[in-house]
Amino acid sequence: MGPAIYFDGRTSARHAVTVEIEQAVLVVRDAIERHILARWPHHEIERLAAPDRMVRLGRAGTGLFARIEIREPTFAKTMSEFAATVRRSGDRRGRTRAIVWSLAAVASLLMVGIFGVPAIGERLIPLVPFSFERRLGEAVDAQVRAVLDTGPPGRPFECGTGASEKSGRAALDKLVGRLEAAAGLPVRLRVAVVRRDEPNAITLPGGTVYLYAGLIARSELPDQLAAVIAHEIGHIANRDGTRAMLQTASLSFLVGLLLGDFVGGGAVVIAAKTLLQPGYSRVVEATADRYAVDLMNKVGGDARALGAILGRIAGAIEPGPKGLDHPDTRERVAAIDAAAAPRPGRALLEPAEWDALRRICAR
């Protein structure tokens, strides 16, 4: 008897179990509650390919991808010797069946990739609950932060936490609060400033926005920064990050579901890279620009400030290289100026508040 991980082949759940070798069957028990999850006859057990220092067993003839994975060295050796005495997967009939199932799985994934992934992005996104969208954002947040946090050990990743930075955090909260109240989002907005020198911002599914310190440094007026935040709110309202993530990473999620690894492995990495380099299309960017203009007009800010900051940073609000379909900066600025209301008399922050916000990363 020894410890193992069991996958029943019907769901993606991982079960911590103990495996017992009885006279005619292999018994799989829940490691905590001790109830029996499966009984595998010896003659149906086959040894499957596995990484080094792991023994992986499957059950032949069931049509399920159920498997047992043993990593504990002593028990793995025992199960390796046991598997050598029972049916192996090397017979011709077993190989043929495995090839057929593999080809069927590949064909299914290709069909999903060709027809299902675009449907997820364009047609099914309205059906995705916002609670699930928040979970997606939380799943990739750690990976995104790991990529962005390249500072020395001990330095806070987010600005605004030190005593000298709290007045800047208060000014940011005031700015974000005005925009959030006017936007009426179905999710709670969370905006953080991170210690990165690039003039960028990224948005995660579920309402998290990371503003780079370099963006604040390149903003000459508070309304310019507010307009960028309004643009990112537009991506949240239109669920652009979630759509892009599902379109790009959904095949990896499907493979993860098949192999019982939804939030581990490569799917989260691919999703995080998608958010860091979205490459939104002309239509998506134009829609977010228009949303930002409308929101700035609504709160009494200078909507033309979005065009001004775009011109200063050459369209690099979103990080990473842009695709050929990305709109030209001059076209975007012209469209923003055409839709903007007359310039207001006052900025969205007082001069002292803006000075404090520009020092939010003082530490």
Average pLDDT over residues 340-357: 93
Q: Which of 149, 145, 122 is nearest to 242 (CA)?
A: 122
Whether pLDDT at 107 is above 50: yes
pLDDT recorded at residue 192: 95
pLDDT recorded at residue 154: 80
2 vs 117, higher pLDDT: 2
- For the segment 165-189, what is each residue's pLDDT rounded down to a tens digit? 999 999 999 999 999 999 999 899 9
Determine which of 66-80, 89-103, 304-318 has the lowest per-residue pLDDT on average: 89-103
pLDDT recorded at residue 176: 97
Neighbours of 74 (CB within 10 A): 9
Average pLDDT over residues 303-316: 83
pLDDT recorded at residue 317: 44
Domain ranges of the chain: 2-85, 92-125, 128-358
Average pLDDT over residues 200-205: 92
**What mean pLDDT is reported for the chain?**
82
- For the segment 221-279, what is each residue's pLDDT rounded down to a tens digit? 999 999 999 999 999 999 988 887 777 655 555 555 444 444 444 555 556 666 666 56
State the residue for tokens 């605004």: 160
What class is the 2-85 domain? mainly beta
DSSP state of 184: T
Q: pLDDT above 70 covers what percent of the chain?
A: 75
Cβ–Cβ under 8 Å, residues 264 and 253:
no
Q: What are the start-end ranges of the E strands in the chain? A: 2-7, 15-21, 25-30, 36-41, 45-48, 55-59, 67-70, 190-194, 201-204, 208-212
